[in-house]
Amino acid sequence: MEFTRRETLALGLGAAAMMVLPLRANASATDDLIAEFTGGADLADTGITLTAPEIAENGNTVPIEVSAPGASEIVVFATGNPVPPVAQFSFGPLAGSQTAATRIRLAKTQDVVAVARMADGSFARATQLVKVTIGGCGG
């Protein structure tokens, strides 16, 4: 993936234009997606851990880790991305833990949200704000 300077500028302008309105729209898009996943059930705020850097050195590659002991599934959303869903982890009988780490793209500073479906059918949510900085020289 390589962007020329001009493309990057254009992307930035596009993102800036988008930010004015759909910020709220995207947040609610995530809420809708979560409701779809949970069937509207209540979300506990314990039992799941989402680890992400407070400041990402580059939004193109942000390390995250999700962990929810006893969960059958964990879904991750990037609320500020044009398309909020990031990944859905389903843990099988041979999972050593309900933990997974990966690297994700964040279009801008935003909340990353993880929701776990527990073995008993309940749900839990964790949220982490990640600040995405604009680099220095061509960064």
Partner 1 sequence: MFQGKGALALAIGGALSLIAAGSVVADEPAKLVVNGEIEMVTETEAPAHLDAFDTIYSGWTFRTPETRMLQMDDFDNPAMVFVDQAAEAWDTVDGSEGKSCASCHGDVAEGMAGVRAVYPKWNEAAGKVRTLVQQVNDCRETRMGAEPWKYDGGKMVAMESLISVQSRGMPVNVAIDGPAQSTWEQGKDLYYTRFGQLELSCANCHENNYGTMIRADHLSQGQINGFPVYRLKNTKLNTAHARFKGCVRDTRAETFNPGSPEFVALELYVASRGNGLSVEAPSVRN
Partner 2 sequence: MATGVKPRVKVPATVAAGETITIKTLISHNMESGQRKDKEGNTIPRSIINRFTCAFNGETVIDVAMEPAISTNPYFQFEAKVPEAGEFVFTWYDDDGSVYEEKKTIAIG
Contact residues toward partner 1 (CB under 8 A) are 1-3, 51-58, 60-61, 63, 65, 133-139
Question: Does 17 interact with partner 2 (rule: CB under 8 A)?
Answer: no
Please check whether residue 115 is in contact with residue 75, taking contact to mean a CB–CB distance below 8 angstroms: yes
Residue 83 and residue 77: Cα distance in Å, rounded?
9
Containing 38, the helix (H) or strand (E) segment is helix 22-38
| Residue number with CB closer to partner 1 (36 or 65) | 65
Burial class (CB in 10 A: 0-12, 13-18, 19+), 71: buried
Among 13, 16, 83, 129, which residue sits at the site for partner 2 (rule: CB under 8 A)? Answer: 83
Among 99, 109, 127, 128, which residue sits at the site for partner 2 (rule: CB under 8 A)? Answer: 99
Residues with Cβ within 8 Å of 19's Cβ and at least 6 positions away in sequence, in order, are: 108
Closest separation in Å from C-beta 62 to partner 1: 8
Q: How many residues bind partner 2 (CB under 8 A)?
A: 33
Binding site for partner 2 (CB under 8 A): 1, 7, 10-11, 60-62, 65, 78, 81-83, 85-97, 99-106
